Amino acid sequence: MAGALCDIRVIDFGQYVAGPLTTMLLGDQGAEVIRIDPPGGPRWRSNADAVLNRGKRRITLDLKNAVDFDVARRLCASADVVVENFRPGVMERLGLGASHLLGANRGLIYCSLPGFAADDPRATIPAWEGVVGAATATYRARDPKAEPHFTAIPLPSNFAAFTAANSIVAALLARQSTGSGQRIETPLFDAMFEAFGVWGQKNLSGRGQAGMPANLGAPDPLRGGHYQCADGRWIQLLLLRPRHFDWFADRILPTQWRDEGLLDRERLERDPVLVAELGHRVAELFKTRTAWDWERAVNAIGTPLCVCRTTAEWLQDAHAIATRSVVAVEDPQLGPMMQAGFPVALSESRPDDPQPRRALDADRDAIMAELGTGRGSLPQTAGTALTAALEGVRVIDTTQIWAGPTAGRVLAEYGADVVKINDTSGDILSHLHVNSGKRSLLLDLRSEAGLKVLWKLVERSDVFMQNFARGTADRLGIGYAQVRAHRPDIIYSSVSAYGHDGPRGADRGWEPVGQAATGMQERMGGAVPMMQPWALCDYGTGLMGAFSVLLGLFHRARTGNGQRVEAALSMTGTLHQTPFMFSHAGRVWDEPRGPGAKGSGPLQRLYRAADGWLFLGAKANDLPKLAAVPGFEGIERVSGDALEQQLAARFQRDSADASVARLIAAGVGAHRLVDLEEIMEDAWVKTHRLSVVREHEGAGLVRMVGPSPRLSATPVRVASPARPPGADGPAVLSEIGLGEQMEALVQDGVVVLP
């Protein structure tokens, strides 16, 4: 079956992770990707090339050579999308920037993913992954006073790629109406704000609820946490809802504990001594069976629990393979491989399995032969003007917590009209950020009258979003078949822990489960599993949920057909680890891991300064530049552990700011390790709407994260403040012709107003 992006041509100039990951996401959904490699091949020499560049046609070109430059220019003239992730200005100087290419190809989507934006004062800094990580507080998300923890997962590149893929498909959708392309910029620094979520939220009025959530790793018998089992393995238990504790207490814990008050949740909330006793007993109980036994037993009762797997185990997991979260590829160099697979699933535009990577320059003859033929499929005439990519798109969002609502929030920022439906007892004030830009309706979906209201909404909507456990939507009467009966071309979006298909499709879960299942916690922890910084799976799945919807809308725009689309926490956890999520004969798992990790080597590492920490981002041929920095004389003659030791000693002599300034002046990448509060209050960040303060009715002034992508023709919107629950009931009912029935619906409890 052809993917949603079939017949879309993408030219990939990307290096390292951000650019290649963006085009991998597009290529996996059916786009034809032509990868332009520099002489000698990709700058990052890694077996991850087998994953990031799978299925792409390859040609090697020296862009400073006149003949090769002309080939690249003509390829871009034939393309729908161009992707590059060089520093700002590099492609313009080469003559292949947006200003050059858009003039020759009116329908082109030109996407740039620099480390820092073109108008950021740090635009010229060599923005290595760790440099941007330090600039975005990624290595000290949990406790600003503690020693920083480095994570090898390329989070800035990942969130930039996720955001860029969304923006590209949104721009392609807009092009269907306008006939014109546009320029997109998704800087790695800006994109990392998508990961901050509730951490960036701060109530400035002292009202409502906003701020950082609790650590979900520490053992807590009322909320879950990590526990060791009889086989020495660790599990992640989640008791985030009272019913999960109740199910766990009623079905798993010994009944005699109830007589001692140990299972009385209300009493436990008041008695810390009783909680401590219960915690001790639960820890001892878990040691009586293996982790795998507990995983089967506890999930069977509906309470989320996951073994903290390794990445290698996830690559062989039956559910991961069944959902195509992990796929088998026969690589020409490494042989049979298991790789990170698809982060989204689509029912009607399900792409074929990925093809293996091609050898360098393998497709030169075929690509050169096509140069003069022309494609003839790009729009050439002006169409309808749009102010936003999803202008006119209507979305019904029934999702809860973070992942699903984030997808709805992203669609609203691209211009969709999103109606957020909560249960009549719902409260969304604790989730202001993810519900920004939406209109609020409190509706009883368990009543016949409530469903009649819903069907009126569905008949005029394009997208329906839900994140219930498998089977719940069908029992409520709002499953895909039921919704499709009222709107045959609907895009029906589901978000879940594992994906609704496969052996674990019925299991529940939240952020910690997504990290535990895919190896992220084991990678971050040492003797005990540890959560990665930020809610990577939740907010990443929100972006992938939006990606699946955008793909569905684009497919519908070209075929008229709706479909069911899906994203899941475990799929996103797999995608986040793409540069390491592969196995093959002789695979060595040598990437940095554990709480003691500070980087990937002496030139890519966190170092302690006299007053804090900084990240040095350099490569081997930067050593002469480094040696020219005062205080670092002779450093080019040192290597290995001795280099790290000498660098560590020299950085401790001065402040982080002073060292970073000298390094940048010498052309070496570096950044002081900052904290989140500093970032959110930064003047440049505020000016560029990455940190916004708005008045929220019922909560007062609240600071939160703003949108990161920049689209030149259909700019994203800073979403309006989240509305009080039910505030838009009258307007929504009037729009669907039920305004006159509102009083009766309210009286019957079908609709609730503020």
601-677 belongs to which CATH class? Answer: alpha beta
DSSP state of 260: T
Q: For residues 477 and 371, give the distance between their C-alpha atoms in angstroms, rounded to a whole number.
A: 53
263 vs 278: CA distance, rounded Å? 8
80, 94 contact by CB (below 8 A): no
- Sorted by sequence, the CB contacts under 8 Å of residue 461 that are 6+ apart come out as 394, 395, 396, 419, 487, 490
pLDDT tens per residue across span 442-481: 999 999 999 999 999 999 999 999 999 999 999 999 999 9
At residue 639, the pLDDT reads 84
pTM, 2 dp = 0.96
pLDDT given for residue 379 in this prediction: 52
pLDDT 10s digits, 347-404: 999 999 999 999 999 999 999 999 876 654 455 556 788 999 999 999 999 999 899 9
Give φ, ψ of 463 to 5 degrees. Answer: -135, 140
Residues 6+ apart with CB under 8 A from 19: 12, 13, 83, 84, 85, 113, 161
Evaluate whether 54 touches 357 at the Cβ level (below 8 Å).
yes
SS (H, E, C) 345-396: EECCCCCCCCCCECCCCCCHHHHHHHCCCCCCCCCCCCCCCCCCCCCCCEEE
Rounded distance, CA 163 to CA 188, Å? 10
- pLDDT on residue 729: 96
Q: What are the boundaries of each domain within the chain? A: 9-198+351-382, 241-303, 387-575+686-735, 601-677
Q: What is the pLDDT of residue 376?
A: 45
Q: Where are the alpha helices (DSSP H) in 179-322?
A: 188-191, 193-196, 242-251, 256-259, 265-270, 272-286, 291-300, 311-315, 318-322
Q: Under a CB-based contact definition with an 8 Å cutoff, are residues 197 and 534 in contact?
A: yes
Q: What is each CA distance from 325 to 158, 160, 732, in whole angstroms?
A: 16, 20, 38
- Provide block-wise average pLDDT over 10 residues at a time, the chain (754 residues): 91 97 98 97 95 98 96 96 96 94 95 97 96 94 74 97 98 96 98 93 69 59 93 95 92 94 90 93 97 97 96 97 97 97 97 95 95 59 84 96 95 98 69 91 95 98 96 95 98 96 94 96 91 94 98 97 98 97 94 92 96 95 92 87 94 96 96 95 97 91 95 95 93 96 95 92
Per-residue model confidence (pLDDT) at position 631: 87
State which fold the 387-575+686-735 domain adopts: Rossmann fold (3.40.50)
**What Å distances lie between residue 600 and 128, 616, 695, CA to CA?**
12, 11, 43
Q: Residue 220 gets which letter from DSSP?
A: B
Q: What pLDDT score was predicted for residue 377?
A: 47
* Residue 457 CA neighbour count, 13 Å, CB half: 29
Q: Distance of CA 748 to CAs 449, 464, 620, 741, 744, Å?
A: 9, 25, 72, 11, 6
- With residue 557 as reference, give the H or E element that holds it: helix 536-559
Superfamily covering domain 9-198+351-382:
Crotonobetainyl-coa:carnitine coa-transferase; domain 1 (3.40.50.10540)
Helix axis angle for 155-178 and 18-28, nearest 10°, is 50
Distance (Å, whole) CA 190 – CA 734 = 39
Distances from the Cα of 73 to the Cαs of 94, 103, 105, in angstroms? 10, 12, 10
Equal fold, 9-198+351-382 vs 387-575+686-735: yes
Strand partners, 440: 420
The H or E element that residue 608 is part of is strand 604-608
In this prediction, residue 180 carries a pLDDT of 95
